[in-house]
Chain A
């Protein structure tokens, strides 16, 4: 059954990927463009396809997959339905790391500094949160800590941008806080995708342990899943996947929050099976939102996080209301 879910979601992602390549600001004959690209002819169509449309679609899918899979992993590990890289401040901290790496010239002299900066920020935030979770902090405590981390990271990002030497830096805060895939290139794909892939592998490896964790921490330990190791895998995986995503696309919120809840009934509420399905659904949501921002006739283009927040924030409120019902 779950494999059918994964196949179905995979198909949706594929369709949206193709739609994302087809949607753009200038008319493009896709067939001819692919022909030119494969034949190595340097036509303008092939250039638009290879340097603008494809990187955007690839990053949309990969960033969405990263957010979806890490949202599912954090929710499973913290056993907290409100956990999401955006809500708990992991994305914000990643943005801070990437901003420092980018605007102060580190990434100009050493390209990998950009994803590594994002990775370090994300790792620091995830570690703090999991340390709190390990001490037995409840749902509310964790979310509040996440809100504090988010605000702190946001404020430090704004400070860093204001201190940055470029006169444009301060105006670019909205990119880092809301996220966008506009005008990304294959360079960004090459920088971020390897880190994301490593992150996915690490997180997927925690699947069986997350299943065991539903029986409680002691039961999981006795089943042969040392919690320390699981936590390290989730920290490492989240840091790599979210850190690299945010470094190239900014902090796109709410994908990791919404998607696991939508997919959970489809996989029989097994956190392990949820991971891959959640990743695919995250990719679908992000690709869909990125198509929407290009179809809405605004200039400059709407930030991607605006669309995901329009979907995600009401959903978050709905979850809170339902959670309250359960607790009381």
Chain B
């Protein structure tokens, strides 16, 4: 059985290379590569994406994904499609990736960009491999323009902390940290003892008293302990300075990063608007209450 499979696969690999003008047909095994493939490639070029791409809570391209067959990240789903290129993430479907490499498939593995520059470089590189370099350049240009349109950062930076399901946060050196920087916020988690994707105890968040709590949660998310944490009563006093930012906007390094930055900047503007005086008074009261000891 395995021998037959191997023979079949190597036969596939030995087929004459596609002509240069034809664009490679791809299978994607990772949510982030799904998004890039569906946005950059021609409709017929994408043979399959992950089932995650159809989940509107997780994916920014759920509509497009509905027109493409889906996979569950298994090598045996990829082999019969005989793709010219397989897009995978650096941290997911490791076994399938190893099998596909052994079978001679061309695999492109994408890491998680930690800066916007890395994100731009990744978009350009994927577009190049998909045979559509001009679309990659256009996507990067649009993102750069969107970031340039952000309101200029002036005055003191309000402190903010990102709270993800399970109490994870985004610390120094993460893409989210750079977006907060661009939006004029000071990331509290960059000062707290945590690394790029550390976990914070609720106690630490409450005691740090951030000006803005960025909660990466969907109101409509199905129940889980991970999400329940974000609705803990200890966070209730921060309710009027909480921004609900869908996690999908900055899960992957794509054009939605700009939208995330726009939402962050708008929340910052609200903080320094008329409402802010009350909030500032509130934090001053907190500070006084704490300082009085």
Q: How far, in angstroms, from A41 to B289 measured CA to CA in the complex?
A: 9
- A1 to chain B: closest CB distance in Å? 42
Which chain B residues (195-235) contact chain A, with CB distance < 8 Å?
198-199, 201-204, 206-207, 209, 221-227, 229, 232-234
The residue on B at minimum CB distance from A103 is B223
Q: Which residues of B contact A45 (CB under 8 A)?
A: 289-290
Contact with B along A46-57 (1 / 0, CB 8 A): 011001110000
19 contacts between A and B (CB under 8 A): A24-B203, A25-B201, A26-B206, A26-B207, A43-B289, A43-B290, A47-B206, A47-B234, A105-B222, A105-B223, A166-B223, A166-B224, A167-B224, A168-B165, A168-B166, A172-B225, A183-B229, A183-B232, A186-B233
Contact with A along B246-284 (1 / 0, CB 8 A): 000000000000000000000000000000000000000
Cβ-based interface call for A185 (8 A): yes
Q: Count contacts between A and B, CB distance < 8 Å.
A: 95
Residue B16 at the A interface, CB < 8 A? no
In the assembled complex, the Cα of A108 lies from the Cα of B233 at a distance in Å of 15
In the complex, A43→B201 CA distance in Å?
18
Query: A42 to chain B: which residues have CB within 8 Å?
Result: 237
Complex Cα distance A42/B238, Å? 12
A44 in contact (CB, < 8 A): yes
Q: Which residue of A lies closest to B229 (CB)?
A: A183
A164–B234 Cα distance when bound, in Å, is: 27
B232 touches A103 (CB 8 A): no
Residue count of chain B within 8 Å CB distance of chain A: 31
Across the interface, do A165 and B199 meet the contact criterion of CB distance under 8 Å? no
Residue of A nearest to B165 (CB): A168
B211 to A: closest C-beta gap in Å: 13
Q: Does A169 contact B (CB under 8 A)?
A: yes
The answer to whether B223 and A185 have CB atoms under 8 Å apart is: no
Bound-state CA distance A26–B165 (Å) is 20
Q: With a CB–CB cut-off of 8 A, which chain A residues contact B207?
A: 26-28, 44, 48
A108 to B221 alpha-carbon distance, docked (Å): 11
A167 to B59 Cα, complex, angstroms:
13
Q: Is A29's beta carbon under 8 Å from chain B? A: yes
Q: Which residues of A contact B239 (CB under 8 A)?
A: none
Contacts of A102 in B (CB 8 A): 223
Contact status A167-B58, CB under 8 Å: yes
Q: Residue-by-residue, is A15-35 near B (CB-CB < 8 Å gives 1, otherwise 0)?
A: 000000000111111001000
Taking the complex as formed, is B17 at the interface, i.e. its CB lies under 8 A from any CB of chain A? no
* Whole-angstrom distance between the Cβ of A143 and the nearest chain B Cβ: 31
Asked whether, in the complex, the Cβ of A165 is within 8 Å of the Cβ of B203, the reply is no
CB-based nearest A residue for B57 = A167
B204 to A26, Cβ gap below 8 A?
yes
Is B129 at the interface (CB under 8 A from chain A)?
no
User: Across the two chains, which residue of chain B brings its CB closest to A108?
Assistant: B223
Q: How far is the CA of A175 from the CA of B225 in the complex (A)?
A: 9
A36 on the interface (CB 8 Å rule)?
yes
A24 vs B199: C-alpha distance when bound (angstroms): 15
A165 touching B232 in the complex, CB below 8 Å, given contacts A26-B203, A47-B206, A299-B198: no
Residue B167 interfacial (CB < 8 Å): yes
Which chain B residue has the least Cβ–Cβ distance from A24?
A: B203
Q: Which residues of chain A come closer than 8 Å to B223, judged between CB atoms?
A: 102-105, 107-108, 166
B149 at the interface (CB under 8 A from A): no
Q: Is B286 an interface residue (CB 8 A)?
A: yes
B21 in contact (CB, < 8 A): no
Contacting residue for A48 out of B166, B224, B226, B234, CB 8 A: B234
Known: A164-B224, A183-B201, A186-B233. 7 other contacts (CB 8 A): A28-B207, A44-B207, A44-B290, A47-B206, A51-B236, A102-B223, A185-B234
User: When the two chains form their complex, are residues A29 and B293 in contact, meaning their CB atoms are under 8 A apart?
Assistant: yes
Report if A187 contacts B (CB, 8 A): yes
Q: Which residues of A contact B201 (CB under 8 A)?
A: 24-26, 183, 301
What separation, in Å, do the CA atoms of A167 and B224 have in the docked complex? Answer: 8
Quick one: given A175-B225, A187-B233, are A43 and B198 in contact (CB under 8 Å)? no
A172: which of B204, B209, B224, B233 is its contact (CB, 8 Å)? B224
Contact B206 A52 (CB under 8 A): yes
**A300 within 8 Å of B (CB atoms):** yes
Residues of chain A contacted by B232 (CB below 8 angstroms): 51, 183, 185
Q: Which residue of A lies closest to B225 (CB)?
A: A172
Q: Are A48 and B203 in contact (CB under 8 A)?
A: yes
Instruction: Check A44/B226 contact, CB under 8 A, given A32-B293, A300-B166.
Output: no
Q: Which of B121-179 contact A (CB under 8 A)?
A: 165-167
Residues of B within 8 A of A25 (CB): 201, 203-204
User: Contact: A172 with B226, CB < 8 Å?
Assistant: yes
Most buried by A among B58, B166, B227: B166
CB distance from B168 to the nearest CB of A (A): 9
